[in-house]
């Protein structure tokens, strides 16, 4: 694994945030089960994890810009950190052990380093531009699956602001279900993309994601030899609708989805 100061800081920050999250899991059962209390608890954990990440970055790089799910955009600099301190919040809240810390570092708008850390499995996915993608210290590659027949796909259901795409999404889901070997909806896009990179799933699609959901996963997929773009095959620009996979499955998904894409989605 290429040693690089920025990547090393991202790894240290992700592990620290993971510790905060795992410790907080012990308090889940004592929650008062009201919507407000549950959501407040989650945002408290998100904020605590994010604070650890930002503190480590700021200690080493006080002038770098940050885009984080909780804290928003902070500062201006050619180097920017894109952070999701807890991707899979709903899973976490229910004790469903699928969630991750996602940290990406971009320079002049280009992704350079990525970390996705699964604190429950203690799996660390990393990538640096030109250096490949790794799981712990092993090089990972996208799968060799050649067709949608026999493929295992990941996805995420549209929610809230994207429920206008429900019919489009379910038409795509129906089409994919009729061909693929299986479809999984684990609930953490950062991990889904890491799993594409590791060859654990052959392809993935979801609508309405935020930059912090996908920035680290994008570089992981690319450095593992995969493709990532919009449902209409445009370059993915961090945020919006995404399709990813090994090269053949990615192409097959674009072809499968093409008849269902509404006009307003073509730009994203």
120: tokens are 């429950």
Q: Mean of the pLDDT values across residues 138-165? A: 92
pLDDT, tens digit, for every residue of 51-99? 999 999 999 999 999 999 989 999 999 999 999 999 999 899 888 999 9
Residue located via tokens 């229910």: 94
All domains in the chain, ordered by first residue: 5-140 (3.30.540.10), 152-260 (3.40.190.80)
Contact between residue 229 and residue 243 where contact means Cβ atoms under 8 Å apart: yes
219: tokens are 């570089």
Residue located via tokens 């060859």: 199
pTM (2 d.p.): 0.94
- Split at pLDDT 50, 70, 90, the class of 3 is low
Q: Mean of the pLDDT values across residues 156-172? A: 88
SS3 content of the chain, % helix, strand, coil (to 5): 40, 25, 30
- Predicted confidence at residue 2, as pLDDT, reads 39
State the DSSP string of 176-187: HHTTSSEEE--S
Which run of H or of E encompasses 167? helix 166-177
Mean pLDDT taken over the chain: 92
30 pLDDT more than 70 = no
- Split at pLDDT 50, 70, 90, the class of 40 is low
Whole-angstrom Cα distance, residue 152 to residue 221? 16
Q: Mean of the pLDDT values across residues 118-131? A: 98
Contact between residue 77 and residue 183 where contact means Cβ atoms under 8 Å apart: no
- Predicted confidence at residue 31, as pLDDT, reads 55
State the DSSP string of 89-122: HHHHHTT-S--EEEEEEEETTEEEEEEEEETTTT
- Split at pLDDT 50, 70, 90, the class of 164 is confident
pLDDT, tens digit, for every residue of 187-204? 999 999 999 999 999 999
- Predicted confidence at residue 160, as pLDDT, reads 72
pLDDT, tens digit, for every residue of 95-111? 899 999 999 999 999 99
């Amino acid at each position: 694994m290429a040693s690089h100061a920025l990547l090393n800081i991202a790894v240290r920050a992700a592990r620290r945030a993971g510790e905060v999250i795992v410790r907080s899991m012990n308090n889940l059962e004592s929650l008062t089960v009201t919507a407000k209390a549950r959501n407040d608890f989650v945002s408290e954990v998100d904020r605590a994890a994010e604070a650890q990440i930002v503190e480590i970055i700021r200690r080493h790089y006080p002038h770098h810009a940050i885009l984080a799910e909780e804290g928003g955009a902070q500062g201006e600099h050619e180097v920017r950190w894109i952070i999701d301190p807890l991707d899979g919040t709903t899973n976490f809240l229910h004790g469903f052990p699928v969630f991750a810390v996602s940290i990406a570092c971009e320079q002049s708008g280009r992704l350079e380093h990525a970390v996705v850390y699964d604190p429950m499995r203690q799996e660390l996915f990393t990538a640096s531009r030109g250096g490949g993608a790794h799981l712990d210290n092993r090089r990972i590659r996208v799968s060799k699956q050649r067709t949608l027949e026999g493929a295992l796909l990941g996805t995420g259901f549209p929610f809230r602001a994207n429920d206008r795409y429900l019919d489009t999404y379910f038409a795509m889901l129906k089409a994919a279900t009729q061909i693929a070997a299986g479809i999984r909806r684990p609930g953490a896009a950062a991990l889904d993309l890491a799993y594409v990179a590791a060859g654990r799933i052959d392809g993935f699609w979801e609508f309405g994601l935020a930059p912090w959901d996908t920035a680290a996963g994008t570089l992981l997929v690319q450095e593992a030899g995969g493709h990532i773009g919009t449902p209409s095959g445009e370059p993915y620009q961090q945020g919006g609708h995404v399709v990813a996979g090994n090269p053949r499955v990615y192409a097959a998904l674009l072809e499968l989805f093409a008849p269902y894409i509404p006009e307003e989605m073509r730009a994203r």
